[in-house]
Amino acid sequence: MAEHILTRKLTLDLPIEKVFDFFADAGNLERITPPELNFHIITPQPIRIEKGTLIDYQLKMRGFPVKWRTEISEWNPPHLFVDRALKSPYNQWIHCHTFTELSKNQTLIEDKVRYRLPLEPLGDLALWLVRRELNYIFDFRQKAVVEVLIK
């Protein structure tokens, strides 16, 4: 079984608490997700995030409706949190969000997603397509975070 890894880094000229608080608000996920994914949080909001919190989403992938459930498996404000998919189109989805204070007003955001495709090993034939889609989604996400938090 092949585990794949997606990583992203982004430095913002903002204090770590402000950056972490933005990502700790599940409602902001809709703001930083490409609109064509039709991403919506189903769990009633506001959501109190802590270790063990469950969050349900619905979205469209390649035009098909998808339900997704994540659990916050680690919670260490303002430095780290991990969401792990309990239900998703992936065999595995573990997304680690790390926040590092570079200075009083500068924060490094690091995303590391460890994922496995369904129907392994046959599913890995679609890896090129999945990587392209994930790169698009995370590129969009970085631009949206900058637009929302900096401007």
Domain ranges of the chain: 4-150
Nearest CA to 47 out of 38, 57, 37 is that of: 57
pLDDT digits (tens, 9 = 90+) for 25-34: 999 999 999 9
Instruction: Give the relative orientation of helices 16-24 and 127-150 as an angle to the nearest 10 degrees.
Output: 120
Nearest CA to 8 out of 99, 89, 128 is that of: 99
Contacts of 34 (CB under 8 A, 6+ apart): 136, 137, 140
- Mean per-residue pLDDT for 74-97? 97
- Mean per-residue pLDDT for 36-62? 95
The DSSP H or E segment spanning 64 is strand 64-76
User: Class for domain 4-150, per CATH?
Assistant: alpha beta
The answer to which of 18-27, 58-67, 122-131 has the lowest mean pLDDT is 122-131
Reply yes or no: is the peptide bond before residue 46 cis, omega within 30 of 0: yes
pTM given for the model: 0.93
First-residue to last-residue Cα distance in the chain: 43
β-pairing verdict for 106-116 and 4-12: antiparallel
Q: What is the pLDDT of residue 1?
A: 60
User: Using an 8 Å Cβ cutoff, are 99 and 78 in contact?
Assistant: yes
Query: 60 pLDDT exceeds 70?
Result: yes
Measured CA to CA, the distance from residue 136 to residue 39 in angstroms comes to: 15
pLDDT digits (tens, 9 = 90+) for 91-116: 999 999 999 999 999 999 999 999 99
